[in-house]
């Protein structure tokens, strides 16, 4: 019988669960482009926080002179090459948790809350990052960077899957926890609870301006009542 969870909490990864994970993710994107197209690119100067990986790759290639049609044609293979690189090169990340991550995930799981991911990471990169951080087992499913055009679309996919599989009731509380403005906007677009943490690089004033439902110092400040 399918377990019906009392609430759903969707987490961003970078800056929310894990931080200072090293250069390997950016290196994977650069490698993917070079491997498939031969272009030398960089993520330097691109405000990658909150962006989806395919969008970062598009900006990288446009900056290097590639045309839109060429980018569109090469993108599927670039994504695969980037994922293969990251799966191979991802370092140990168990010491890179944001404050309070494991106690919060343990507490939510014990309470019967369903945990999912909404992240700009490509699928295999996101799961591998959590494996290397020792956090993979807390999450049942996720929506990843190549699955929709923006973060609001990813959140929509995740909510639809949880409801469609009978994991949550239609009226169950749903929250999205992230560190970037795009996380707040995605929550607003889906009419779910927007919870921001100040563990990323976004200035707190920018998060305050967007008025999330809750703005926490970090996950140590999260209480069960906030997501139920």
Q: For the segment 138-156, what is each residue's pLDDT rounded down to a tens digit?
A: 999 999 999 999 999 999 9
pTM score, two decimals? 0.94
pLDDT-derived band at 20 (thresholds 50, 70, 90) equals confident
Please tell me what DSSP assigns to residue 4. P
CB atoms under 10 Å from CB of 59, counted, come to 18
pLDDT-derived band at 27 (thresholds 50, 70, 90) equals very high
Instruction: Give the integer Cα–Cα distance in Å for 35 and 30.
Output: 9
Looking at residue 1, what is its pLDDT? 63
pLDDT-derived band at 15 (thresholds 50, 70, 90) equals very high
Fold of 5-21+94-226: Rossmann fold (3.40.50)
DSSP H or E segment with residue 35? helix 24-37
Segment 160-173 mean pLDDT:
94
Q: For the segment 64-77, what is each residue's pLDDT rounded down to a tens digit?
A: 999 999 999 999 99
Instruction: Give the integer Cα–Cα distance in Å for 180 and 196.
Output: 7
Looking at residue 3, what is its pLDDT? 83
Closest CA to 75 of 87, 65, 85, 67: 67
Structure tokens at 228: 């139920």
Looking at residue 22, what is its pLDDT? 75
Place of tokens 């004033």: 205
Q: For the segment 99-111, what is each residue's pLDDT rounded down to a tens digit?
A: 999 999 999 999 9
Domain boundaries, the chain: 5-21+94-226, 24-89
Instruction: Give the integer Cα–Cα distance in Å for 44 and 27.
Output: 11
The share of the chain scoring above pLDDT 90, in percent, equals: 90
Q: Count Cβ neighbours within 10 Å for each residue of 92-119 and write b for 16 or more, e otherwise.
A: ebeebbbebbeebbeebeeeebbbbbbb
Q: For the segment 194-207, what is each residue's pLDDT rounded down to a tens digit?
A: 999 999 989 999 99
Instruction: Quote the distance between the C-alpha of residue 227 and its chain's center.
Output: 18
Helices (H), 64-100: 68-89
The share of the chain scoring above pLDDT 70, in percent, equals: 100
């Amino acid at each position: 019988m399918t377990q019906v969870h009392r609430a759903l909490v969707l987490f961003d990864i970078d800056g929310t669960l894990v931080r200072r994970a090293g250069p390997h993710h950016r290196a994977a994107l650069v490698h993917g482009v070079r491997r498939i197209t031969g272009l030398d690119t960089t993520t330097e100067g691109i405000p990658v926080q909150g962006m989806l990986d395919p969008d970062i790759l598009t900006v990288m290639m446009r900056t290097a002179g590639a045309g839109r049609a060429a980018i569109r044609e090469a993108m599927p293979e670039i994504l695969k090459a980037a994922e293969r690189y990251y799966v191979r090169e991802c370092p140990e990340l168990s010491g890179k948790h944001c404050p309070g991550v494991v106690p919060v995930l343990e507490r939510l799981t014990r309470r019967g809350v369903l945990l999912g991911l909404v992240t700009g990471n490509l699928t295999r990169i996101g799961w591998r990052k959590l494996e290397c951080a020792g956090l993979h087992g807390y999450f049942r499913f996720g929506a990843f960077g190549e699955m929709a055009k923006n973060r609001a679309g990813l959140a929509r996919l995740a909510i639809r899957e949880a409801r469609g599989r009978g994991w949550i009731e239609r009226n169950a509380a749903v929250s999205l926890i992230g560190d970037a403005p795009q996380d707040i906007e995605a929550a607003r677009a889906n009419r779910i609870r927007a919870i921001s943490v100040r563990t990323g690089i976004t200035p707190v004033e920018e998060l305050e301006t967007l008025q999330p439902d809750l703005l926490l110092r970090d996950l140590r400040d999260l209480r069960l009542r906030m997501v139920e």
